[in-house]
Amino acid sequence: MTTSSEHASTTEPPAPAQGAGRPRLSDRKRPGETAREEILDAAAELFTNRGYASTSTRRIADAVGVRQATLYHYFRTKDDILEALLSTTVAPMVEAATTIAGQTASPAARLHATALLDGTQLWQSQWNIGALYLLPELRTERFAQFVTAREALRATYRQLATGVLDELARNGAHDLPDASEDIPLRLVETLVNLRWDNVGTAEEPRRTADAVIRALGWTGDWNELRRESAGLLTRLE
């Protein structure tokens, strides 16, 4: 599906080839070990600061310091670049959340660790890529893989929240929220908005993880919870 005016041409760029690629116009000026990583970094900056629809592949190539033909050596279309960017944020988090969910720890600690890790990545990443999650282009079949991965992350959050809520119910708690309300995921993703508004401190991911647990009605020893949560994250290293 065409998503920008740059695709209006009837001549498609060549398919990405294997090998070293074409020479760049200038010395390396973006972070990244490879030209592909540099392209993704430039695209992330432009997509989040200028907007996806307003960014052309030519502008991305210029930001990297390569010819547009070199960019097409790595990515056939702008959609391919966006898909690669999104996969670098969601897929690793799905894997990490699944690993945490399978660890031996209290339900609250597992949810807290997941929210803390997810929130930290959203908060500390070089560019606010989470802001791209609401792009209308992502509703198309082209990005079905990303949508599936994000739904898998949502399902893991629900599973972890259910564990906390079930434990609270067994201990006599009443008027608890439902896991299907997705309170944990919604709270974590507010960090994207805070970054967008340029407000908040380095403590926001921890505060948000605490808020996730508190919002479910959990009461307990916060020092013990944070210690157990930190231990779970240490196991991932």
Tell me the CATH number at 54: 1.10.10.60
Tell me if 217 is assigned to some domain.
yes
pLDDT in tens, 178-201: 999 999 999 999 999 999 999 999
The DSSP element (H or E) to which 199 belongs, if any, is none
**231 and 138 in a common domain:** yes
Selection from 144, 143, 164, 175 nearest residue 214 by Cα: 164
Share of the chain above pLDDT 90, in %: 83
Looking at residue 34, its pLDDT comes to 86
pLDDT in tens, 122-157: 999 999 999 999 999 999 999 999 999 999 999 999
Global confidence as pTM = 0.85
Residue 16 has pLDDT above 80, yes or no: no
Overall size of the chain counted in residues: 237
Instruction: Please state, in angstroms and as integers, the Cα–Cα distance from residue 45 to each residue in 41, 57, 60, 191, following that order.
Output: 6, 13, 9, 18
Report how far residue 59's alpha carbon sits from residue 222's, in angstroms, rounded to the nearest whole number: 48
Q: Are 111 and 184 in contact (CB under 8 A)?
A: yes
**136 and 185 in a common domain:** yes
Looking at residue 102, its pLDDT comes to 96
* Phi, psi angle pair for 35, to nearest 5°: -60, -35
Looking at residue 88, its pLDDT comes to 86
Q: What is the CA radius of gyration of the chain?
A: 21
Tell me if 7 is assigned to some domain.
no
Total number of domains constituting the chain: 2
**186 and 107 in a common domain:** yes
Given 27, 45, 76, which residue is the final one in a domain? 76
**143 and 94 in a common domain:** yes
